[in-house]
Amino acid sequence: PIPVDTPCKDVLDMFANAKERVKDLSNDLKTLVNQYDKNVYFVDAAPHVQLSPVDGIHFDEKAHENFALLMNETIRKIFNLS
């Protein structure tokens, strides 16, 4: 999960303490996914995608491209595609 980071007061109120709450979410989700069979996958986009500087909660064009490339790579690995 990508931490919310915005100076917008309305958004800050809506996502109060989001940075703190999301800290362990990635590890918690990985742990949950690992409890299931090997056909369930988790992809952490945070190291690959930055949120838009406009509002700090949405993807901009570059983030969508990076996320698409990440998912493409992940799916190719899962299905052994070259």
3-state secondary structure the chain: CCCCCCCCHHHHHHCCCHHHHHCCHHHHHHHHHHCCCCCCCCCCCCCCCCCCCCCCCCCCHHHHHHHHHHHHHHHHHHCCCC
In angstroms, the CA 45 to CA 82 distance is 22
- Give yes or no for residue 12 having a pLDDT over 70: no
pLDDT at 78: 94
Mean pLDDT of the chain: 85
**Residue predicted with more confidence, 31 or 1:** 31
pLDDT band at 82 (very low <50, low <70, confident <90, very high): confident
- Give yes or no for residue 18 having a pLDDT over 80: no
Instruction: Kindly state the tokens that stand for 1.
Output: 């999960």
